[in-house]
Amino acid sequence: MLKSQKNKYTKEDPLEHDEYNFAYLDEQTKRMIRRAILKAIAIPGYQVPFSSREMPMPYGWGTGGVQVTASCLCPTDTLKVIDQGADDTTNAVSIRKFFEKTANINTTDDTNSASIIQTRHRIPEEPLKEGQILIYQVPIPEPLRFLEPRETETRIMHALEEYGLMHVKLYEDITKHGHISTAYAYPIKVEERYVMDPSPIPKFDNPKLHNNEALQLFGAGREQRIYAIPPYTKVISLDFEDYPFEPMKAEAICSICGSNSSYLDEIIINDKGDKSYICSDTNYCEKRK
Amino acid sequence: MNNILSVKSLTKTYGHQIGCNDISFDLHEGEVIGVVGESGSGKSTLLSCLAGRLKVDKGSIKFKSRTDVKEELTEITEVRRRYLSRTDWAFVHQNPRDGLRMDISAGGNITERLMALGQRNYSSLRSKALNWLSKVEISTERIDDNPTTFSGGMQQRLQIARNLITEPRLIFMDEPTGGLDVSVQAKLLDLLRKIVIGLNLSVIIVTHDLGVVRLLADRLIVMKSGEVVETGLTDQVLDDPQHEYTQLLVSSVLQF
Ligand SMILES: Nc1ncnc2c1ncn2[C@@H]1O[C@H](COP(=O)(O)OP(=O)(O)O)[C@@H](O)[C@H]1O
Ligand SMILES: [Mg+2]
Ligand SMILES: [Zn+2]
């Protein structure tokens, strides 16, 4: 999948697509990004700098993830794109269309038949397999950022494994809320070395990061960082002995498929404000109906 | 020899400007040395060199570790230096803002070093924070308040608690009472004295206030233009100064 495409890829509709290289980025750029990806895989959890390119979409729309996806895609790949677990949201649809146009690859909603899945804010419910790549869109890659704004300092902290600050944040959480209130982007330690921000996935998804069979790649466009969790990597969520990490979800079942184990979105179903819950992973829900 | 620190011919320049020049002295375990001199005499430069916060040009600083090994501080790695600065050493800044995290609660400030050393029990961290708050005479009810809501004197005491919780052996203080009201200064000095004696700490305290060293220091180093002009027991130096610069200092002719 990291094989480079030497020749300019030609599409059926030359008028519309002629100006693009396969998957939009030029081969030179893709090679540079692949080198960053390989380095990231070699040092699990370490943020590798890369020189982010302008993409035909604004930052915050997953330009980091898109560049990683573009660099991993082969013509034989099948791509799935999700946003908050759903295949049909604006962000997911536009990224999927972007690659349909620029790479002419097959796309799917089916987690199981996708070879590459680009995601924002979720890990699919269906367990991933060897050979699949899960690519996360990351807004802020630095887990220490809000406690230590100086990049020079956070780099040293990572280099020297000085992670006391991360627990200060959790300490403050417990102090203010009586429990660790961090519900998204819950900090993890990868392979007993680097502390990492898993992007704003709900902490419900954190256990799936651990020992996953798929390759997990993280791309931050504006911040120009790529990092990775290779398959079968040890991932633990930071906590205290007396306030252990707990993955959380709404105490309910999906009103569509009846699942009691999937991550649920809350929806208001009438003017009285009554609530109902449905799976956030739309493909998972669909398959169970 | 029970020196925790042995300094030989220490020199630091800033381009053509001399910071401190050819400084040598020993600090015994459990001893408090005061470094005095007018503003610009090189006190802070010396302190920063000793704590590894500035790179020295020349000279040697030998530090005796907990395991009685002599380490040459001018040659240790950055990793080792940072480890020592959060375990064996403490640095109390004149401005508490430089030594505290202002957007973190008092309890979080006090226990950060323990968490950095791997302590992972919230309840026990909390009881240690409460214990240190009372040691530095801050009401334990303030444990969850941010230092921004504290007075200058309280902030300085919080900085001291944050620094001392790992039971460091060597404390560097740069004008710890500067910028505080006189009555607040007296209270802080009293507290520092209790703690230093109680924990048998080795201390280097930099100040231009002779009242501070009179109360805290066993020995004095008098600096002028980056050089040491006189050393001796505190009472000796203050009551019978030998160098004419020290005589001026003591007779308060010099205004700082
Ligand atoms: N960062 C610096 N760059 C250039 N000169 C400096 C710097 N810091 C201190 N100095 C100079 O070094 C001398 C000693 O300063 P300092 O150690 O701060 O003295 P003190 O703490 O006794 O007031 C002064 O002449 C000062 O101007
Ligand atoms: Mg000074
Ligand atoms: Zn469902």
Would you state the pLDDT for residue B109? Answer: 97
- For ligand 1, what atom is nearest to the CA of residue B208? 22
> How many helices and strands (H and E) does chain A possess?
8, 12
pLDDT score for A61 = 85
Position A10 scores a pLDDT of 46
A243 CB near a chain B CB, below 8 Å? yes
The predicted pLDDT at position B256 comes to 46
Residue from the list B82, B101, B105 with its beta carbon closest to the beta carbon of A175: B105
Contacts with A, B 46-85, CB within 8 Å: 78-79, 82
Distance of CA B32 to the CA centre of its chain: 10
Q: Would an 8 Å CB–CB cutoff place B197 in contact with chain A?
A: no
* Interface mutation vs chain B, best among A147, A163, A166, A172, most B CBs within 10 Å: A172
The reported pLDDT for the residue numbered A15 is: 40
Task: Name the catalytic one among A62, A72, A219, A285.
Answer: A285
Q: B36-83: per-residue pLDDT in tens?
A: 999 999 999 999 999 999 999 999 999 999 888 999 999 999 889 999
Q: How far is CA B44 from CA A173, B8, B152, B160, in A?
A: 37, 17, 21, 18
Q: How confident is the model at residue B182 (pLDDT cuts 50, 70, 90)?
A: confident
> Facing residues of B6 across strands?
B26, B62
Residue nearest to atom 24 of ligand 1 (CA): B40
Segment B133-150, tens digit of pLDDT:
999 999 999 999 999 999
pLDDT number for residue B179: 81
Angle, in degrees to the nearest 10, between helices B182-198 and B152-164: 10
pLDDT of residue A26: 94
Q: Predicted ipTM? A: 0.89
Q: How far apart are CA A186 and CA A180, in angstroms?
A: 10
| ∠ CA B127-B133-B134, rounded to 5° | 95
- Quick check: CB of B45 below 6 Å from ligand 1? yes
Q: What pLDDT was estimated at residue B1?
A: 57
Residue nearest to atom 5 of ligand 1 (CA): B14
Q: Which of B169, B160, B237, B251 is nearest to B202 (CA)?
A: B169
In the prediction, which pLDDT does A16 show? 54
Q: What is the mean pLDDT of residues B188-194?
A: 91
Q: Which residue has the tokens 């791509």?
A: A79
**pLDDT higher than threshold 70 for residue B167:** yes
Q: What is the pLDDT of residue A8?
A: 46
Which residues pair with residue A136 across a beta bridge?
Answer: A119, A218
Atom of ligand 1 nearest to the CA of B38: 22
- Check the CA dihedral A66-A71-A73-A75 and report its sign: positive
What was the pLDDT predicted at A38? Answer: 98
Summarize pLDDT for B85-129 with one digit per residue, the tens.
989 999 999 999 999 999 999 999 999 999 999 999 999 999 999
B54: left (phi over 0), alpha (psi -120 to 50) or beta: beta
Closest residue to atom 4 of ligand 1, CA basis: B14
Structure tokens at B229: 């002009």
> In this structure, are strands A116-120 and A78-83 parallel, antiparallel, or unpaired?
parallel
| Residues B93, B97: Cα–Cα separation, whole Å | 8
Task: Please tell me what DSSP assigns to residue A231.
Answer: T
The average confidence (pLDDT) of chain B is: 93
DSSP character string of A115-149: SEEEEES---SSPP-TT-EEEEE-S---TTTTT--
End-to-end CA distance of chain B: 37
Distance of CA A15 to the CA centre of its chain: 34
Residue B105 near chain A (CB below 8 Å) = yes
* Residue B39 CA: distances (Å) to CA of B15, B36, B45, B189: 19, 9, 11, 21
Residues from chain B that touch A195, judged by Cβ atoms under 8 A, are: none
> 3-state class of B166 per DSSP?
coil
Tokens for A157, please give them.
């902290």
Q: Compute mean pLDDT per 10 residues along chain A, 289 residues long, and list them.
A: 44 53 94 98 98 87 95 97 96 96 96 98 98 97 92 94 93 95 96 97 98 98 97 98 92 95 93 94 95
Q: Which two tokens stand for residue A72?
A: 């991993």
Residues 6+ apart with CB under 8 A from A64: A52, A137, A138, A218, A219, A220, A221, A222, A223, A224, A225, A226
pLDDT of the residue at A250: 85
The Cα A279–Cα A286 span in angstroms is 9
Q: What is the mean pLDDT of residues B161-171?
A: 94
Task: Return all residues near A205 (Cβ < 8 A) that are at least 6 apart.
Answer: A122, A123, A198, A247, A263
Report whether A136 contacts A119 (CB < 8 A). Answer: yes
Phi and psi torsions of A132, nearest 5°: -85, 150
Please give the model's pTM, rounded to 2 decimal places. 0.86
Name residues whose C-beta falls within 8 Å of residue B245's C-beta, 6 or more positions apart in sequence.
B222, B224, B229, B230
Crossing angle (nearest 10°) for helices A90-103 and A63-72: 30
| Inter-chain CB proximity B122 and A172 less than 8 Å | no
- Nearest Cα to B175, choosing from B74, B56, B256? B256
Catalytic site residue A72? no
Question: Is B42 a pocket residue for ligand 1 (Cβ < 6 Å)?
Answer: yes
Determine how β-strand B70-72 pairs with β-strand B202-206: unpaired
Q: Is the pLDDT of residue B255 over 90?
A: no
